[in-house]
Structures are given as C-alpha cells and as structure tokens.
Structure 1
Amino acid sequence: MSSKAISLKDVAAIAGVSVSTASKVLRGGGKASDATRERILEAAARLDYEPNALGQFLAQGRSATIGVLTLNAPGAFTMPVLTAATTALGARDLSVLVSDSRLDRSVVAATVRKFRARKVDGLLVVGDGSGTAMRSVTAGFTVPVVYAYGFSDEPDDVSFVHNGQVAGELAGRHLIELGRRRIAHISASLDDHSARERAEGLASVLAAEGLDLVGGAGFHGDWSRSWGRRAAEDLLASGLDFDAVFCGNDTIAMAASEVFRQAGLRIPADVAIVGFDNLAGLMDQHDRTLTTIDPLLSSVGERAAEYLADAIAGGDYEPGVHRIDGILIEGESSVGPRP
C-alpha cells in the first residue's frame, strides 16, 4: 500500500465488500454476516484505518461542530473554563467555533444567529462569573445548549458553576479546626449570587458550632482591593474581637492582610486569613503565602463540555444548576510557614 492516507475504499477492497457495507460495519451497524464483518474488521486493523470522524458525523446529519459563545473571553477567570471546555470537546472529535460578545448583548444576538446558520450540533455559553445570571438563548436552538461559569435565567436550562456554598463551608471548617472562634467575613455585596453563597456556607458551619459571625452580617462591598482595605480598616476601628477572617476573594484577602500587618497584627498568630480564587495557581505560581479556596474552574469547563457532548449523543439532559465543589489549599496565612 502506498504512503497516502488509507481510505474506506481501501478497506472495502481488501475485505472484498462494497464501500457501503464496510462503512456500515465499521459504524457498528449493517446486516453483514459474521464472516463478512470479521473480514472488514481484520482489513481495517491490518491497514491501521482510522474512520473519518467528520464523514461519520455528516452521515448522521450532524456538523461535528460546537458553537462556544463567551461573554468575556479575555477574562482571567474565563480562560481556564474556556480552555478546558474546548480541550474536552476536541477529545470527542468535535470542532469548535468560538465567538466572544465582549459583554455586548447586541453581539450575543448576532452570534446566536450565526451559530444557527452554521447548524452547530450544540452550543456552550461561557459566562463572566458564577455570581450572575445570563439571559437564556436556548429557545433559539433545536440542539442542546449548556451554560458554564454563570447560570441561565431560565430554570429549565442546564448550567455549570462552582459551588459557593461548599467554599464557605470549607473556609469555616478549616478555621474552626485551627481553633479559631471569632471569625469575620469580608466580601462583595450579598446581591451577588457567589458572594451570598459563600457567606451562607460560612454561616451554616459557624451555626453548627454555636458560633456567631463577628460583626453580625459581615462586611459587604465589592470584589476590589480598595474595598478589602477599607473593610479591614472598618473591622479594626469597630473594636470587635476577631481571630480569623474569611475573605470573598484573594484580592480582598491580600489587601486585608496588608492592613492588619500595618496595624501590628501577626498573621496567622493573631489573625488567620482565608481567601478564594487561588490566584497564584491561576498564574501557575507555586506560592503558598495565602490559604485559599480553589474553585476548580477547569473542572467547571470540562464538565460542562462533556455534558454537552453526551447530550448531543443522546444522553440525559437534566435541567437546573450543576455545582462543582472546590478544594481548600493551605497556606501561611492560616497555618503558618512550613518547615
């Protein structure tokens, strides 16, 4: 055989059958006899034949293409979701068309029309954060649509987000296990779904231990460094007794740590700090200065993509929000420096 790519026609010729029969048998169908089926499979194995995935999809009336609509592709937290999702889809022999809306709703509408015209087999919508709702575009498609890193405002849609409730619980349990009993919370506004879930998770763990959150409802503003500094200053000025703080993200945690150190507090001897995001890991740094919750954003993207591929193949489509649990990564801000 020449060095050119092996074709289905070559397999059929070696097996002594028609191209149509060879194709059906290699797809797992057809009514060929056991002997004929064995000849075809042996010929394919001898020639090291790899079926043309695109051709198989087209034969099934599918395009083998997935539309991926991102709301903010350049976002630091969006990228691991997008990368993991496209990798998972590629592993399933699915091509990907990515279009970014740049948070512009008019671009979203135009992209939806483009994907429909391309007859994509499915659509993955990647949001800009698990704390906000995305406008559903599912009604515009006859193929499966899955949302990731953000949830659809339509309850019957399928959405994948990280689990904020579990994140709060992980932080609370960690601090309590370290012997901390006077725990404060600095985060974004409770109008933000992610901030609210993290606060609820922390509160549930404290309540189970008979503990109250320092400051009552906590300190809530936004996700910025400036808010982290101001909230830490307000906590110090309040005169409240505290020995630990769970911060809504790493940015707030680092800003608060700076304020506490400037005030003469030792971390973690006087106050233990836990953040959220695992920014160091996101930037591929092996920095264990800050104890943090890693939301495993890559897992969010991978799970959403695999779910979409399964739904396209005829698998179950379970409406609702699917939450991915994160993990706690210990750092010096709560357990002190390692030997």
Structure 2
Amino acid sequence: MNELSDGLPPEAETLLQSTRTIRDVARRAGVSIGTASKALNASGRLSAETRARVLRVAGEIGYRPNDLAHSLHRARSMTVGILSNDSFGRFTFPIVEALERSLSDSGIAVFMCNATDDPERERRHIDQLLGKRIDGLVVTARRTDRRAPIEPAVGGVPVVYVFTHVERPDALCLLPDDQGGAQLAVRHLAALGRKRIAHVTGPERFEAVRLRASGYRAALAEFGLSARAGDYCPGRWSEAWGREAVRDLFSKRRGAPDAIFCGSDQIARGAVDA
C-alpha cells in the first residue's frame, strides 16, 4: 500500500489502480508530465536516475498506460483481427497461436471472432472489429475452398487470407499445397515398391479433395501405375469412413492394396483400426 490507497479494500484498490494517470506518476516522482512520459516511453534525453525513479513510482502505484490514448496519438491500435468460421478450431487454433507468437514481440494484440459460416454474423463481427480500429485482418477457415472477398466491407484495412482464398489478383492468400503434398506422399509409397496404392479421402465437394486426388493420380503416372477400379475412395471426413473403406478394399471381391494414402488424420485413424 502507499499514501494514495492506504486503508482501501482490495476491490477499491484495483479500481483505483485502473484509473491512475501519468499525472499521478509525475506528481509522486516530482517531475513534469513531459518528463514522466519520456521515462515511461523510453524516449527523450533523461538522466538514468530520473528515468529509474519514474519507472519505480509507476510500478508502486500500479500505473498502466492508456492504450486508447496512445492509439489515437500514433493512428494505430496495435491490434489485429482474426475472422474464422472454424467452429472446431482444428485449423484456426494453430494459426492463432502462431500469429500471437509473432505479433506479441511487436506489442500487437489479437482479437478473434468466429462467424460459424453465418454471413450475417460475419458482417457483425467485421463491424465490431472495425469499431476497434484494427490495423489488419486475418481471414481463416476450416477448409481451403474459395470464399467471397472481404475487402469491400473493410475499406483500406489490410487483409490476409489463411487456409482459404478469394478470386482477387491482388489478394494475399496462404494455402497448403494439397496437390503437391499428395504427390509427395504417393511418390514415397511408390518408391518403396508399392504397386497398388489406394486413396481413401473425404467428400469431393471440397477443393482440397479434388486437388489431392489429382496429385495422387499424377504421382501414380510418374511410376507407370494407375488406380484400379475401387482404389479411389471418396467419402466422409470420419474414422468410421476410414474403417468402412478399408474393409471394402480388403474384401474378397477384389485384390487388396499394398499401400493406402489417406486424405485426413481422422480417416487414417479409422483405416489403421481396420
């Protein structure tokens, strides 16, 4: 405790700390507001003793900078918005974690909103993020399929698309190489000497499924192989489909494959079980 808060209950002390200003710091440290500002912002020419005294006083009284005032002064909010429709978080959470890790070193915070494939909810989230004067927006999803561009709704705010993309020649879209990844996987299996490589994957309405199937067939052709009838198995994104497809592939009706390339971790787990 100090003379500004002696005898106050904890909840009042917390409220008082949240309202302390740079004037309180300057008065207690015995310096001008300008000097206190230089010390707190590590700017200007001050003696080491004065700077240390101001920082010590700020810590003692629980002073916190007014980020809103600072953002108005520098015309930057030091915040980035993330707009997602990945309600499961399987793909968005790693993206958010990487963004926070990269941006925090620059003092930039992240606001995340989940639109859950609801256009009206997405519009509300965009309005809320713009109301916070975000410096940029990251748009992500749980699938890489094309979506409507968001730029018309955000004015001049920079936008980056991650794990989704739009039909704009100037858009920055970061996507996995589904076709190339599939080719690498099938080349590996073929290089091991496998001759009948099956592909168990998800619904063909997903662009990633179509691209992986293209990579699968291209890699087979490189080794003089081809997918026989029934070796290509599109279905559902589920362990159950992985089990069902593998049981069918290994049924007595057809010769069993000697390798399986799966379109997702869930499908692969079901395939291994079967």
Normalised by the length of structure 1, the TM-score is 0.59
Larger radius of gyration: 2
Instruction: Pick closer, same or farther for the CA change 1:60–1:235 going to 2, 3 Å.
Output: same
* Residue matched to 1:162: 176
Tell me: CA distance 1:48–1:84, structure 2 relative to 1, closer, same or farther (3 Å): farther
Equivalent runs, 1:227-246 vs 2, <5 Å? 227-237=241-251, 238-246=253-261
**Contact 2:249 2:256 (C-alpha < 8 Å) held by counterparts:** no
Q: Which amino acid aligns with 1:137?
A: I
* Contact kept? 1:214, 1:240, Cα under 8 Å: no
| Deviation string, structure 1 residues 9-57 (Cα, Å, up to 9, x no partner) | 99xxxxxxx76xx69x977xxxxxxxxx8x56989998898xx795765
Q: Name the aligned partner's letter for residue 258 of structure 2.
A: D
Residue identity in the other structure for 2:149: S
Q: Map of 1:111-260 to 2, 5 A cutoff?
A: 111-130=125-144, 132-141=145-154, 142-215=156-229, 218-237=232-251, 238-259=253-274
Q: Could you tell me how far apart the structure 1 residues matched to 2:168 and 2:255 are?
A: 42
Q: Please report the RMSD computed on the Cα atoms of aligned residues, expressed in angstroms.
A: 3.8
Cα deviation code 1:235-255 (max 9, x no counterpart):
234414521010111222222
Higher relative contact order (CA 8 A, sep 6+): 1
Using the TM superposition, name which of 59-68 and 236-245 deviates more: 236-245
Counterpart AA for 2:212: R
Paired residues of 2:90 and 2:142 also in contact (CA < 8 A): no
Unaligned runs of 5+ in 1: 1-6, 11-17, 28-36, 260-339
* Cα distance in 2, alignment partners of residues 217 and 190 from structure 1: 15
Residues 264-311 of structure 1 deviation map (CA, whole Å, 9 limit, x = unaligned): xxxxxxxxxxxxxxxxxxxxxxxxxxxxxxxxxxxxxxxxxxxxxxxx
**Cα drift, residue 154 of structure 1:** 4.1
Preserved contact between residue 127 and residue 150 of structure 1 (Cα < 8 Å): yes
Mapped contact 1:215–1:240 kept (Cα < 8 A) = no
Structure 1 residue 127 displacement after superposition: 0.9
Trace 1:246-325 onto structure 2 (pairs within 5 A).
246-259=261-274
**Does the Cα contact within 8 Å between 1:214 and 1:242 map onto a contact in 2?**
no
Change (3 A) 1:44 1:217: farther
Cα displacement (A) at 1:71: 1.2
Q: TM-score, normalised by structure 2?
A: 0.71
Closer/same/farther in 2, CA of residues 209 and 40 from structure 1, 3 Å limit: farther
3-state SS, counterpart of residue 135 of structure 1: coil
Q: Which runs of 5+ in 2 are unaligned?
A: 1-21, 27-33, 56-64
Kept in 2: contact 1:185–1:214 (CA 8 A): no
Distance (Å, rounded) in 2 between the aligned partners of 1:74 and 1:47: 49
Aligned identity (percent) is 29
2:200–2:234 Cα contact (<8 Å) kept: yes
